Amino acid sequence: MTSDRVGDHVNGWVQRSYLKHDGWWAQLVLDEFSFLRDLGFSLTGSKWAGIHFHQRGHYVAFVGPRRDVSIEYDPWDTKTIDAHVVEHDPPKFIRLDGLIAQHLRETQPPRRTPLDRAAVEANVRWWADGLRRIAGEVL
Average pLDDT over residues 82-109: 95
Tell me if 6 sits within 8 A of 52, measured CB to CB: no
Please give the mean pLDDT across all residues of the chain: 87
Which of 71, 73, 62 has its CA nearest to residue 115?
Answer: 73
11 — pLDDT class (breaks 50, 70, 90): low
16 — pLDDT class (breaks 50, 70, 90): very low
Q: What pLDDT does 46 receive?
A: 87
Is the per-residue pLDDT at 19 higher than 50? yes
Tell me if 22 sits within 8 A of 73, measured CB to CB: yes
Model confidence, pTM: 0.87
**Residue of 11 and 122 predicted with greater confidence:** 122
C-alpha 45: how far from chain center: 17
22 — pLDDT class (breaks 50, 70, 90): low
- Sign, CA dihedral 120-45-36-62, equals positive
